[in-house]
Homo-oligomer: A and B are copies of this chain.
C-alpha cells in the first residue's frame, strides 16, 4: 500500500511517495514562499505532488501542517506563519488540484501517526506522543487511531496544568508542563539556575549569551559531570513525570513516546520522569508503563503525513 505525504514547513515543502512497509520510495522538496499567499502555496504543493513519478496506485494524500485542525481533518484554523490562511479547507483544495483524496492534520498528530506506522508505536495499540520542541505538543493514539475528542482538538498535552500557581507559558494557562519543559521555558529556567553559580562552566561559557543556551548544551555538560546541568535536566524530567501521571490517570494509556529537541537529553530526563511516575502514580496504573524516546530522523514528518493517509484511507 502506498500513499503521498506532504510536510509543509516554514522553509520547504516536502512531498514523498511512501510505501507502508518499505518507507519512502520517492521524495522531493521545493521552497515554501508562504509570503506569496494561499493560492500560490496550494498550487505549488499540488504541482509538486503531480510531479511525482511513482505515485500510481496511491490510496490518497496525508498533509501535515501547523495549526488547529477540525474533527473531519479537512480544515485548518489560524495556522501560524501562513498569511491568508485564517480558515481553509486545505484537504478540498488539494483534492481539487490533484484528484486524490486528502486529509490534513497538525504537526503533533502527524508525528504520532509516523510513530504508529513506522516507529516504535508499531507494536502498540495505544500510546501517547509528546513532542518536546520550542513548545510541547501532544497526540493520543487509542486502538491504533488518533483520539481527536469532540471537536478535533484533543491532545493539547503541553497545556496541562501541574501547578496552578506556576509560571505562565505562551498560553493563558499557568503552570502547564510546557511552561517547564518546552525549550523556550527550559532555557529560561536554566538561565535562572546558572546565574546563581558564577563558578560553573555553564556560567563561564554562556554569561552574556544565555539566549544561545540550548538543551543540547545541558546534555553535553551533564555528560561531562556538571552537577548543575544534571540538576536542571532532573527537575525537567520530574515535571514531565507529573504531567504523565495526569495523562495516565485520565486516559489509562501506559506507553509514552518522547520526540523533539528536548527529548535528545534521553535518560537525563526520562530517568527522573520514571522515578516520579513510580512514586506518585496509582499502583494499578503501573503495570505495563513504558517511557521511550522516538527518533525517526529528518523524514519523520513526511512518514507521519503518509501515516495519516493510511489512517484515513487504508
Taking Cβ atoms with an 8 Å cutoff, the residues of A that contact B are 68, 77, 125-126, 140, 142, 148-157, 159-165, 171-175, 239, 242, 245-247, 249-254, 279-285, 287-288
Number of copies of this protein chain within its complex = 2
With contacts A68-B284, A154-B250, A281-B173 known, is A163 near B163, CB below 8 A? yes
B159 touches A162 (CB 8 A): no
Where chain A touches its partner, the secondary structure class is: loop
A172 touches B283 (CB 8 A): yes
Bound Cα distance A279, B172 (Å): 7
Bound Cα distance A252, B157 (Å): 11
Q: Which residues of B contact A154 (CB under 8 A)?
A: 250-252
Q: Which residues of B contact A174 (CB under 8 A)?
A: 280
A150 touches B250 (CB 8 A): no
Partner of A151, one of B148, B152, B288: B288
B152 touches A252 (CB 8 A): yes
Q: Which residues of B contact A280 (CB under 8 A)?
A: 161, 172-174
Considering the complex, give the chain B residue whose CB is closest to the CB of A250.
B250
13 intermolecular pairs with C-beta atoms under 8 Å apart: A125-B150, A150-B253, A151-B252, A151-B254, A154-B251, A155-B250, A156-B250, A156-B285, A157-B250, A161-B280, A163-B163, A171-B282, A247-B250
B253 touches A149 (CB 8 A): yes
| A121 CB to nearest B CB, Å | 13
A157 touches B283 (CB 8 A): no
Bound Cα distance A11, B253 (Å): 35
B250 touches A282 (CB 8 A): no
